[in-house]
């Protein structure tokens, strides 16, 4: 029988694993910190807001999300490469929509860290991000 004090810890670990926030799942120099994970009014959907950080030269390899990503560049600059589209170099204040299920990658080409605020509208029960082939 599990102790009552252990249940919240196990639940937190399960949720962290489902959100893909363990450091081992993230490339070197890249981090995604979940700020909010909230069910939406649309059945089977949830919204996630995350702070993404890229150290200089860091790359988030090709991946996709089970829903749309809206991003806003807070600091630094990044190049976003979305399959089927021309690469985009983004600077602070720029925004971008990445369609759900479409592979893309991000990289910091600048000499300073880059920070992005992203909001995802996702299917429940699926990982936040999956590697693309």
Residue 1 domain-assigned (yes or no): no
Task: Please indicate, yes or no, if residue 120 is contained in any of the structural domains.
Answer: yes
Q: By residue range, what is the domain housing residue 121?
A: 6-131
- Say if 83 falls within a structural domain: yes
Q: Which of 19-33, 36-50, 79-93 has the lowest mean pLDDT?
A: 19-33
Contacts of 24 (CB under 8 A, 6+ apart): none
- The verdict on residue 75 lying in a domain is yes
Of 63, 81, 61, 51, which Cα lies nearest the Cα of 126? 63
Single pTM value for the model: 0.79
- β-sheet bridge partners, residue 53: 31, 115
Report how far residue 102's alpha carbon sits from residue 125's, in angstroms, rounded to the nearest whole number.
18
CA–CA dist 119, 71 (Å, integer): 6
If we measure between CA atoms, which residue out of 87, 81, 72, 63 comes closest to residue 35? 72
Domain with residue 106: its CATH number is 2.60.120.10
Which helix (H) or strand (E) covers residue 125, if one does? none
Q: What is the mean pLDDT of residues 47-75?
A: 97
With cut-offs at 50, 70 and 90, classify the pLDDT of residue 32. Answer: very high
Structural domain total, the chain: 1
* pLDDT tops 80 at residue 12: no
């Amino acid at each position: 029988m599990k102790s009552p004090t252990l249940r919240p810890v196990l639940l937190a670990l399960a949720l962290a694993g489902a959100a893909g926030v363990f450091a081992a799942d993230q490339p070197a120099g890249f981090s995604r910190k979940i700020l909010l994970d909230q069910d939406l009014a649309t059945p089977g959907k949830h919204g996630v807001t995350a702070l993404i950080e890229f150290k200089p030269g860091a790359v988030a390899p090709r991946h996709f999300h089970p829903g749309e990503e809206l991003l806003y560049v807070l600091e630094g600059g990044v190049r976003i490469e979305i399959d089927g589209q021309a690469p985009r170099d983004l600077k602070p204040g720029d925004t971008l929509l990445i369609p759900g299920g479409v592979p893309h990658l991000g990289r910091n080409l600048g000499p300073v860290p880059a920070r992005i605020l992203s909001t995802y509208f996702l299917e429940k029960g699926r990982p936040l991000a999956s590697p693309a082939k």
